[in-house]
Amino acid sequence: MDRNPQKSFQDMILALHDFWSAQGCVILQPYDMRMGAGTFHTATTLRALGPEPWNAAFVQPCRRPTDGRYGENPNRLQHYYQYQVILKPSPPDIQELYLKSLEVIGIDPLKHDIRFVEDDWESPTLGAWGLGWEVWCDGMEVTQYTYFQQMGGFDCKPVAGELTYGLERLAMYIQGVDNVYDLDFNGQGVSYGDVFLENEKQMSKWNFEVADTDALFDLFAKAEAECRNALDNDVPIAAYEQAVEASHLFNLLQARGVISVQERASYMARVRDMARGSCEKYAETMTPAWQAKYPEWSL
């Protein structure tokens, strides 16, 4: 059956998969953990380190507990999808590739106004920053486009280009729909609301009202301890997973409104220490293998 990215959310995703697969990307499945952004996927953070080429594309569900609106806001969700592409080193024609990918999903650049508007990216949590743009389509931000310069406090050598598409927004635009729940999910009558509305209602309630905060605090402390344990035993990928877990627990505690302004900074610092510590350890652990292939290379 022919795909129709302009009428079906899943066809849009599949079209992107086809396109980036044809560019030599590894098509990955989502990371099986709760995380706030596709950037947290190890395929992005950890793979941005080191000298080896790496091209990957994947959908990552993102959890932003404080953005929950009980299914009542047409654009805001506590769970949504990002499509992420990472190309290392950034190819010279990355902008052209990106623009082609928009055409593939049905955006005609002679009918719609595509613009690259300065928007630099920084994640103190990951010790990372990069320069780039938010890409506008008729005034709407549809993609975050970044050239990673540092990750985990280390210079990216070489630099990776990261593209993060906001899938629901893009689909709403392409399908001409004003409410995310009205999106056609499969082109055969199943809507986004059929799939996710009840989920948004229940999860918003849990995020804001129900989640046991004592248990969350406890889990945070346990994640922190486990992160340390993993670092002490030289398994930084496992340590990094605990940092991702702690980061989401922190976001949940924020949504529950139990972290005071004063405490907020200290929790963020704890998450940052875990994430950066894991990235650093990962880079140090991998360096001998990297240098075996790239003798000139240093961390």
Partner 1 sequence: MSDFLLELRSEEIPARMQAGARAELEKLFRREMDAAGVAVGDVTVWSTPRRLALVAKGLPEATEAVSEEAKGPPVGAPDQAVDGFCRKNGVSRGDLEVREVKGRETYFAVKNVPGRAMSELLAEAIPAIIRDFSWPKSMRWGAASLSTESLRWVRPLSGIVAIFGEELVACEVDGIASGYATMGHRFHHTGEITIGNAADYAEKLRACHVIVDHEERQDMVREGAAKAAAEAGLKLVEDEGLVIENAGLTEWPVPLLGRFDEAFLDVPPEVIQLTARVNQKYFVCESADGKLANAFVCTANIEAADGGAAIVDGNRKVLAARLSDARFFWELDQKTSLEDHATKLERITFHEKLGTVADKVERVAKLARWLAEEGIVPDCDPALAQQAAELCKADLVTEMVGEFPELQGLMGGYHAEKERLPREVSDAIRDHYKPVGQGDDVPTAPVTVAVSLADKLDTLFSFFVINQPPTGSKDPFALRRAALAVCSLATIGTLRIPLINALANAYAGLVTTALDWAERAQSDAAASASRARQTLDLQDFANRSKLLSEAQTSLRETTGAAVQAMELLKTLKYQSPNELVEKTIEVVAFIFDRLKVQQREAGVRHDLIDAVFALGGEDDLVRLLARVHALQAFIDTDNGANLLAGYKRAANILKKEDWHGVEGEIARTGEEDPLSQVDDPDMKAVVEARMAQAHAAELSYTPEPAEKALIEALDAAEPQAAAAIEAEDFATAMAALASLRAPIDAFFEDVTVNDENPDKRAARLDLLARFRAAVHNVADFSKIDG
**Hey, what amino acid is at 59?**
V
**Hey, what amino acid is at 144?**
Q
Per CB under 8 A, the segment of 14-22, 128-136, 190-198, 247-255 that binds partner 1 is 128-136
According to DSSP, the β-strands at 128-137 and 140-151 are antiparallel
Q: Using CA atoms, how far apart are residues 97 and 16, in angstroms rounded to an integer? A: 11
Nearer to partner 1, 138 or 284 (CB): 138
Q: Using CA atoms, how far apart are residues 261 and 267, in angstroms rounded to an integer? A: 10
Is 120 a binding residue for partner 1 by CB under 8 A? The answer is yes
Which residues in the 159-198 window bind partner 1 by CB under 8 A?
Answer: 159, 161, 173, 178
Q: How far is the CB of 229 from partner 1 (least distance, A)?
A: 26
Is 284 a binding residue for partner 1 by CB under 8 A? The answer is no
Give start and end residues of each alpha helix (H) in the chain.
9-22, 94-104, 167-175, 192-205, 213-232, 236-255, 261-293
Residue 299, exposed/middle/buried by CB under 10 A (0-12, 13-18, 19+)? middle
Is 234 a binding residue for partner 1 by CB under 8 A? The answer is no
Is 133 a binding residue for partner 1 by CB under 8 A? The answer is yes
Peptide bond connecting 158 to the previous residue in cis, omega within 30 degrees of 0: yes
Is 75 a binding residue for partner 1 by CB under 8 A? The answer is yes
Is 137 a binding residue for partner 1 by CB under 8 A? The answer is yes
CA 236 to chain CA centroid, Å, is 20
Per CB under 8 A, the segment of 10-18, 59-67, 108-116, 196-204 that binds partner 1 is 108-116
Q: Using alpha carbons, select from 191, 206, 247, 207 the residue that is nearest to residue 223.
A: 247
Q: Using CA atoms, how far apart are residues 267 and 256, in angstroms rounded to an integer? A: 15
Q: How far is the CB of 172 from partner 1 (least distance, A)?
A: 9
Q: Using CA atoms, how far apart are residues 147 and 88, in angstroms rounded to an integer? A: 10
Per CB under 8 A, the segment of 30-38, 89-97, 269-277, 284-292 that binds partner 1 is 89-97
Is 112 a binding residue for partner 1 by CB under 8 A? The answer is yes
Q: How far is the CB of 142 from partner 1 (least distance, A)?
A: 10
Is 106 a binding residue for partner 1 by CB under 8 A? The answer is no
**Residue 226 main-chain phi, psi, to 5 deg:** -65, -35
Is 153 a binding residue for partner 1 by CB under 8 A? The answer is no
Q: Using CA atoms, how far apart are residues 277 and 4, in angstroms rounded to an integer? A: 44
Is 294 a binding residue for partner 1 by CB under 8 A? The answer is yes
Is 91 a binding residue for partner 1 by CB under 8 A? The answer is yes
Is 92 a binding residue for partner 1 by CB under 8 A? The answer is yes
Residues of this chain that interact with partner 1 (CB under 8 A) are 51, 74-75, 89-92, 95, 99, 109-118, 120, 130-131, 133, 137-140, 147, 149, 155-159, 161, 173, 178, 260-262, 294, 296-297
